[in-house]
Structure 1
Amino acid sequence: MTKSLTLSDVLGLGFMTFAFYLGAGNIIFPPLAGFLAGEHLTLAMLGFLVTAVGLPLITIIAVAKAGDGWAGMTKLLPAGIATALAVAIYIIIGPAFAAPRTGLVAYEMGLKPFLGDMGQAGLAAYTVVFFGLAILVSMNQGKLMDAIGKILTPLLIVLLLVLAVGVFIAPQGTMPASSGDYQSSPFVKGILEGYNTMDTLASLMFGALIVDLLRQKGIHDYQSQFKYLAIAGIISAIGLSVVYVSLFQLGNTAAGVASDVSNGGAIVNAYVLSLFGQPGQYILAAIITLACFTTAVGLISACSDFFHNLTGMTYQKLVVLLGVVCAIVANVGLSQLISLSIPVLVAIYPVAVALVLVTFLKGYFGRPRQVFRAVLMVAFLFGCLDGLGAAGLKMNTFAFLPLFDKGLAWLLPTLLACGIGMALRLCPTVKAEAIKQ
């Protein structure tokens, strides 16, 4: 008999997925984009939603479509390459960069404004407490949905709704004039800014984690897993869209309120102080801390689950190990960690997007195994060029490539490789081989 989830469990699953995505970066980027977009707010916001909401949702659905999580998505790759790619993604989005960053941002925006700079010792103490609590919540994977989806996330949603209502009912400033690339190409600029959330990479992790959680709830058949994973993705996409629209509006009415517009965090801080006064600072600190904490739990849990299946080490031991590593790495400092992560993320992100693309298209390819591998190789090679450029190396030799100056040199070659793969299906020789098989 096929089991089904209760409405409470379905909502808990969706809220948990939403909370895993909603890190501090998701709260910081939209206000700055809204401020810089000025009168082109709508186009910039739509572009941002394409890559910050649309791509992660499509990725979650791709994980569901492939079945069996990561193994289902990469079954046409050599086992060694699939494992190496998975390890790279999990390390990058987990203990190397994204997870430690949650603790750093929570410290910078949730504690530092009240207590000031406490130096390296203060940061070390905070990261020990922050990741210690994340370890405790992540330890029992079976109760993860209840802890995150039914307890922490509703509280986070309430805090965000308070801020969103305030932004729309009582805007504190005026609309700034558009600037930079938002003047000439706001939609494209919004798309590029949406990449900063890096949630497509996270979707590959969270999708596999949610499949495992569904199995623990007794959901083993493909159709039910697909249904519940898609529902979770849709719930999280709706929640993220509401948050992003509110924060874009916040930034777009911040002229005259925020004197420091160097980053979205400064804009949000100034706006909240103007809107709610000193109590608002506590609300903001709670939002940032909860958002960072739930994301840290999601990342640690997903990485631990993956490495448990890979190495056989117990899930609980891996939670402790990865949590400790995150606390250590976080003490590098926020600016240094971000500067180190950008080139790596720029290089690996195209591979993740290409993997999602071929997951949907592989049924239309001639010689799907070869085309699948070729598309990912093209995305990887051109992504490395973008990564080297993001690292500050002189790459003038490749300046002729379309979209190279945008950091998207990989996009057209990857689409071309997919097109060639689909054209191969029309080749008579390939058709004959397919019939023989």
Structure 2
Amino acid sequence: MEKLSSQKLMLIGLTLFSMFFGAGNLIFPPFLGSLAGSHTWTAMIGFGITAIGFPVLGVVAVARSGGFYELAERVHPKFAFVFTLLNYLSIGPCLAIPRTASTSFEMAVVPFLGNDPFPAAQFLYSAVFFAIAFAVALNPDRLTQRLGKILTPCLLVLIVVVFAGCAVHPPGTYGAPAEAYRSGPLIKGFLEGYMTMDTLAALTFGVVIALNIKAIGVEKESVVVGETIKAGFIAGGILVLVYGALAHVGAVTGGAFGPADNGARTLNQAVRYLYGNTGLVMLAAIFFIACLNTCIGLISCCSKYFCTIVPGIPYRVWALIFAAVSFIISNVGLTRILEISVPVLNAIYPVAIVLILLSFGFRDGMRWRSVYICSVGFTGVVSVLSALEQAGIILLPKALLMLPLYTMGLGWIVPALAGMMVGILLKFFINKEN
């Protein structure tokens, strides 16, 4: 087969969308809408840049570079190993995979436990959840059949039902923005997009998508790359529509009931108003399907990667290890996992963004290695120091405050640009010397 048919390409795009669309993707758009109110769509532009634009560019960058490690290797082989490992651990067993179980438990089970919750409920739920995810992930080349054809269409139908209810019978109108969104809603939305973790996930999902394309019958490597890129844009288009729908639901719900503590409770308010107890069942199904899809995709791509660095351990064993470790961590609870997520993501997300953008402006990594080293290096120093400060470890407070945009959470941008300029100057200086 030379290339995929339109129908098969759409299935691949739906599969990639389902891998992206998990816990954070459900929680953060409606929460943003409930807080931003009349500034929702300005904030959503910023959110879309980091939660849709960069993930799609990440899929393209990795596909054109031949892999995540190959892209990171443009900085240095040691950096490639460390950064790739940190990325997989973050979107894998340390943060993202446990979050899928914790979030779906909060929405699919807790509302039905009443005032006397069963103490072992989360333990039993997460055990079943990861057992299902592990069983499906054992055949990563069949994810298109299981996610793209079955689970994802069900998920989209349920989301459409919730959105349609708010469109026909809205609980309220867009209210006044909360303090965090009164000034600079674009930047606030930009930073909130970090929490979906999709830019990090995009750097790893490409290998699983390529595997599924090959399983359909495409053999030529250049065609696999092209079809992977097309799938990325399809997934991005669906994310635009779904995020917009969820943000609107959050905005009209927040306008009626006031901002909730998180996006999950915002959706809970919306479906209770629209459909009563039936709505709670619907919302439970949405969260369970979305989180299970992402969990399966993450277990698959993480296991594939660790097979390359420890080839003596087979894929199935790695999948079992990640499912088991994630099961243990998930029982810590959603709140604690989210608390840990923020400084970790602020440390590595800017580096991932810079690496992706450099791949488009400086495609020849060997020729422009100095640009990659300086730009990624400057970005990494600032983002790590900023993350440590958020964790309560303050090393250079006065120096960091001097950086433009630092108080807005974007202190890494100027160092990244400065690093790029220094790298370009070094490149021409070295050429002149030679």
Q: Within 5 A, what are the aligned runs for 1:237-386?
A: 237-255=236-254, 257-258=256-257, 261-312=260-311, 313-363=313-363, 367-386=367-386
1:62-108 Cα deviation digits (max 9, x unpaired): 11221x21233134243333112111110111001110010000101
Q: Is the Cα contact below 8 Å between 2:32 and 2:189 reproduced in 1?
A: yes
Q: 1:175 aligns to what?
A: 174
Q: Within 5 A, what are the aligned runs for 1:384-403?
A: 384-394=384-394, 396-397=397-398, 398-403=400-405
Rounded to whole Å, the distance in 1 between the matches of 2:430 and 2:330 is: 55
Q: Within 5 A, what are the aligned runs for 1:131-142?
A: 131-142=130-141
Q: Is the Cα contact below 8 Å between 1:104 and 1:333 reproduced in 2?
A: yes
1:268-312 Cα deviation digits (max 9, x unpaired): 101111011111111111001111100100110010011112211
Q: 1:108 aligns to what?
A: 106
Q: Within 5 A, what are the aligned runs for 1:159-238?
A: 159-238=158-237
SS in 2 for 1:254: helix
Q: Is the Cα contact below 8 Å between 1:13 and 1:232 reproduced in 2?
A: yes
1:357-382 Cα deviation digits (max 9, x unpaired): 22122247895123222222222111
2:22 corresponds to 1:23: yes
How far is 1:227 from its partner?
A: 1.9
Q: Is the Cα contact below 8 Å between 2:35 and 2:254 reproduced in 1?
A: no
Range with greater deviation from structure 2 (52-61 or 165-174): 165-174
Q: Is the Cα contact below 8 Å between 2:74 and 2:366 reproduced in 1?
A: no
Distance 1:221 1:177, change over 3 A: same
Rounded to whole Å, the distance in 1 between the matches of 2:319 and 2:123 is: 19
Q: Structure 2, unaligned stretches of length 5 or more? A: none
Range with greater deviation from structure 2 (402-411 or 214-223): 214-223
How far is 1:424 from its partner?
A: 5.0
SS in 2 for 1:277: helix
Q: Is the Cα contact below 8 Å between 2:3 and 2:227 reproduced in 1?
A: no
Rounded to whole Å, the distance in 2 between the matches of 1:83 and 1:385 is: 21
SS in 2 for 1:348: helix
SS in 2 for 1:296: helix
Distance 1:378 1:429, change over 3 A: closer
TM-score by length of 2: 0.93
Q: Is the Cα contact below 8 Å between 2:29 and 2:243 reproduced in 1?
A: yes
Q: Structure 1, unaligned stretches of length 5 or more? A: none
How far is 1:219 from its partner?
A: 3.0
SS in 2 for 1:393: coil
SS in 1 for 2:120: helix
Q: 1:414 aligns to what?
A: 416
2:47 corresponds to 1:48: yes
Percent identity over paired residues: 36
Q: 1:83 aligns to what?
A: 81
1:305-353 Cα deviation digits (max 9, x unpaired): 1111221121111111111111011111111122122211211112211
How far is 1:42 from its partner?
A: 2.3
Q: Is the Cα contact below 8 Å between 2:72 and 2:83 reproduced in 1?
A: no
Rounded to whole Å, the distance in 2 between the matches of 1:390 and 1:236 is: 33
Distance 1:422 1:220, change over 3 A: farther
Rounded to whole Å, the distance in 2 between the matches of 1:432 and 1:50 is: 40
Range with greater deviation from structure 2 (415-424 or 168-177): 415-424
**RMSD over aligned Cα atoms:** 2.1
TM-score by length of 1: 0.93
Aligned length: 430
Q: Is the Cα contact below 8 Å between 2:370 and 2:424 reproduced in 1?
A: no
